[in-house]
Amino acid sequence: MHSSDWLQLAIYMAALLAITKPMGLYLMQVLDANGRTWLDPVLRPLERLTYRVMGVDRAQEHGWRQYTFAMLLFSLVSCVFTYAILRLQHLLPFNPQGLGPLSPDLAFNTAVSFTTNTNWQSYGGEGTMSYLSQMVALTIHNFASAAVGIAIAAALVRAIARHSMATLGNFWVDLVRTTYYLLLPLCLVFAVVLVSQGMIQNFNGYTKAKLTEPYTIQVPKLDDKGQPVTTNAPVLVQAPKLDAAGKPVLANGVAIMLDVPKLDEKGQPMTTNLPVMVDQVVDEQVIAQGPMASQVAIKMLGTNGGGFTNANAAHPFENPTPLSNFLQMLSIFAIGSGLTYYLGRMTKNQAHGWSVWGAMMAMFLAGVLVCWWAEARGNSIHQALGLVAGDGNMEGKEVRFGIFNSSLFAAITTAASCGAVNAMHDSFTAIGGLVPLFNIELGEVVVGGVGAGLYGMLVFVVLAVFIAGLMVGRTPEYLGKKIGAYEVKMAMLALLVLTLSILGFSAWALVSQWGVAGLNNAGPHGLSEILYAFSSATGNNGSAFAGLTANTPWYNVTLGLAMLIGRFLMIVPIMALAGSLVRKKISPPSAGTFPVSGGTFILLLVGTVLLIGALNFLPALALGPVVEHFLTAQGKLF
């Protein structure tokens, strides 16, 4: 934990604070159907044209049911669109490597994954996806799922800010305006900046580079028909030597053993079926190319996180320099942070907006410090072998980022439901890996996914004022609106569904053959891998303890269902909550009103998140990372 690292953390926090207000003010214009931005001359005609082909009247607002219905219908249509492209990519253009279609379960998992803003990747980017699949099938959701999240958050904030009304806005207008006015211009600038750092953006075929030092590898020998050649040697077993009478021959009282051919059930001699290996000289490195920067810009700003390459933001093309790393980290939080300012502005209570931001930052910083401390401390088992102790845990990390920027990135990407990684979380120390897992299980409300973080946090705010109301014995009120049984029920429903999905699916996988078959690590770390997978899917995060082999029909389908539950079964009760809040009258504050800003509120909000969000997971966490931490200290290996 060097002083230069502390300086980087301070710069990061200062930069985030500095962009929060401008972003919030810009969001005010974007999320207002009549808002004005300086991009109007270019984008207003495009916006109008889009409404015309859609047949949408932008002046018309909708109630919560129609708003939700439009959102679900759009998600369904766009999900089917992606599924179709993935299944047909071998017939479509922009496929220079001639990659084949995805299997039905993998296409389902991937289409759901991107529709729900999860971007869990069961596939390996470079070897599976054609350029068209990357550019159209996946990128459309990077924009659309981010815009959907922001739209839902805007609807909930309007429900809080308005009173005695029935409508929450127009989903189509929110979707189109967020994409055109917010995401597109930001991404265009950001993508070009990323290219200036070394990120690729091309449509070339893969490049072949001549190696300086060719090397030899062993590959299976193929016959003329391209089939692997196998050895045909008889399998031998040992059997006692028998004499003419069928009695074992003894020497010094011990039976003499002979090698005899092993026979199968039919009495035929068995032969080995091992592939014959031959040497092959490797004298070139094939380098994957593609239109990466345009996809990476939105994957970060939209907290999608789906990597262009398998190694995601750890790949030197996908995150070339420490500066590109810093900007990517900032962009993950940018919109989510700005939305808290939007909340304050809309509810005419800026202190409330900043207090929500403060609660998020308190939890975020706690996670960063713990993760960073654990990774800098390193793995005592490996240090005992002779590693320089001060180097920390470098397995699965890149030199240019080092311990600090890898730990910071891990905390940000899991706090924000992004899921991009610049280091492999699976290889973090037990406590270092606990932090990302814990962040996800809090419900992705520490800034959270764009929009999703705010609507998730507002659910906790409703619960926090409810608990405060119970403690002082008054009717709970939130910004002048009475919180009744219906609101609390909807809020609890939205949260309990997450817990049920994470723990239910994890438990199922842990006792099933299909579940444990995918493990890369034994012992408590295996439990962590499965728990992380279903937490990440349900939390719509998308990062992984990537050792888990999840590209199997069972995992693809169960994880796909967890993602759908985590996204839509959370949104529907939240929209019902919004539909109820928007109808309520606002009563003026009185002496007994609980203030929703300041230190007491922040403390109460953090406490609520920890109690309700995290307590359910403590037993599971104790069996996974916590046990592993103590076993590491004892030098136990699996």
Partner 1 sequence: MKTFLSELRGAVMVTLALAVVTCGLYPLAVWGIAQAAFRDKANGSLIVEHGVVRGSRLLAQAFTGEKYFHPRPSAAGANGYDATSSGGSNFGPTSQKLNDAIKDRIATYRTENGLKEGAPVPADAVTASASGLDPHISPANAEVQIARVAKARNLPVAKVRELITANTATADFGIFGDAGVNVLELNLALDRL
441 binds partner 1 (CB under 8 A): no
Q: Under a CB-based contact definition with an 8 Å cutoff, are residues 128 and 171 in contact?
A: no
Tokens 């009120």 -> residue: 477
CA 528/CA 547 separation, integer angstroms: 11
Residue 321: CB minimum distance to partner 1, A = 6
29-36 long-range contacts (CB < 8 A, ≥24 apart) are 29/181, 30/177, 30/178, 30/181, 30/182, 31/150, 31/154, 31/174, 31/177, 31/178, 31/342, 33/58, 33/59, 33/169, 33/170, 33/173, 33/177, 35/177
Residue 295: CB minimum distance to partner 1, A = 8
H-assigned helices in 55-138:
64-87, 104-115, 125-128, 131-132
Q: x/- site string to partner 1, residues 199 to 238, per CB under 8 A?
A: xxxxxx-xxxxxxxx-x-x---------------------
Phi, psi of 219 (to 5 degrees): -125, 155
Of the pair 11, 233, the CB lying nearest partner 1 is at 11
Of the pair 286, 610, the CB lying nearest partner 1 is at 286
Of the pair 31, 311, the CB lying nearest partner 1 is at 311
Which range in 14-22, 137-145, 158-166, 597-605 contacts partner 1 by CB under 8 A? Answer: 137-145
Residue 429: CB minimum distance to partner 1, A = 5
Which range in 3-11, 259-267, 469-477, 503-511 contacts partner 1 by CB under 8 A? Answer: 3-11
CA 510 vs CA 25, 135, 255, 446, 516: distances in Å: 47, 36, 47, 28, 6
Burial of 483 (0-12, 13-18, 19+ CB in 10 A): buried
Interface pick for partner 1 out of 188, 235, 470, 615 (rule CB under 8 A)? 188
Q: x/- site string to partner 1, residues 273 to 312, per CB under 8 A?
A: ---------x--xxxxx-x-xxx-xx----------xxx-
Which range in 156-164, 252-260, 321-329, 501-509 contacts partner 1 by CB under 8 A? Answer: 321-329
Residue 134: CB minimum distance to partner 1, A = 9
Of the pair 212, 252, the CB lying nearest partner 1 is at 212
Residue 528: CB minimum distance to partner 1, A = 7
Residue 83: CB minimum distance to partner 1, A = 12
Residues 4-63 that bind partner 1 (CB under 8 A): 4, 7-8, 11, 46, 50, 53-56
The β-bridge partners of 598 are: none
Residue 327: CB minimum distance to partner 1, A = 10
The total of other beta-carbon atoms located within 10 Å of residue 458's CB is 24
Element (H, E) at 284: strand 277-287
Sign of CA dihedral 317, 323, 328, 331: negative
424 binds partner 1 (CB under 8 A): yes
Q: Under a CB-based contact definition with an 8 Å cutoff, are residues 559 and 122 in contact?
A: yes
Of the pair 19, 72, the CB lying nearest partner 1 is at 72
Q: Which tokens sit at 56? A: 């949408």
The total of other beta-carbon atoms located within 10 Å of residue 234's CB is 12
Selection from 518, 498, 520, 499 nearest residue 510 by Cα:
518
At 549 the three-state DSSP class reads coil
Using CB under 8 A, count the residues that bind partner 1. 135
**Residues whose CB falls within 8 Å of the CB of residue 548, separated by 6 or more in sequence, listed in order:** 426, 518, 519, 520, 529, 530, 532, 533, 555
Q: Under a CB-based contact definition with an 8 Å cutoff, are residues 287 and 209 in contact?
A: yes
Interface pick for partner 1 out of 153, 361, 423, 537 (rule CB under 8 A)? 423
> What's the first-to-final CA gap in the chain, in angstroms?
29
Which range in 348-356, 466-474, 487-495, 625-633 contacts partner 1 by CB under 8 A? Answer: 625-633
528 binds partner 1 (CB under 8 A): yes
Interface pick for partner 1 out of 195, 458, 463, 502 (rule CB under 8 A)? 195
Residue 580: CB minimum distance to partner 1, A = 22
Angle between helices 350-377 and 3-30 (to 10 degrees): 150
Rounded (5°) CA angle 113-500-148: 35
Residue 386: CB minimum distance to partner 1, A = 5
Interface pick for partner 1 out of 9, 35, 63, 69 (rule CB under 8 A)? 69
Q: x/- site string to partner 1, residues 72 to 101, per CB under 8 A?
A: -xx-xxx--x--------------------
Of the pair 33, 54, the CB lying nearest partner 1 is at 54
Which range in 115-123, 422-430, 473-481, 503-511 contacts partner 1 by CB under 8 A? Answer: 422-430
Residues 353-412 that bind partner 1 (CB under 8 A): 378-379, 381-382, 385-389, 391-402, 405-406
Interface pick for partner 1 out of 30, 86, 151, 191 (rule CB under 8 A)? 191
Q: Which tokens sit at 148? A: 């959907």
Tokens 């590959």 -> residue: 219
The β-bridge partners of 62 are: 169
Residue 250: CB minimum distance to partner 1, A = 42
Residue 347: CB minimum distance to partner 1, A = 29
Phi-psi sector, 31: left (phi>0), alpha (psi -120 to 50), beta: alpha
Residues 463-522 that bind partner 1 (CB under 8 A): 520-522
Q: Which tokens sit at 234? A: 């008889």
Residue 189: CB minimum distance to partner 1, A = 10
Interface pick for partner 1 out of 26, 114, 123, 180 (rule CB under 8 A)? 180
Residues 143-172 that bind partner 1 (CB under 8 A): 143-144, 172
Which range in 190-198, 361-369, 459-467, 498-506 contacts partner 1 by CB under 8 A? Answer: 190-198
Which range in 333-341, 415-423, 454-462, 581-589 contacts partner 1 by CB under 8 A? Answer: 415-423
Of the pair 347, 541, the CB lying nearest partner 1 is at 541
**Residues whose CB falls within 8 Å of the CB of residue 263, separated by 6 or more in sequence, listed in order:** 269, 270
Residue 500: CB minimum distance to partner 1, A = 27
Residue 143: CB minimum distance to partner 1, A = 4
Which range in 103-111, 318-326, 459-467, 586-594 contacts partner 1 by CB under 8 A? Answer: 318-326
Look at the chain and count its residues.
638
Q: What is the DSSP letter of 423?
A: S
Residue 219: CB minimum distance to partner 1, A = 9
Residues 531-590 that bind partner 1 (CB under 8 A): 545-547
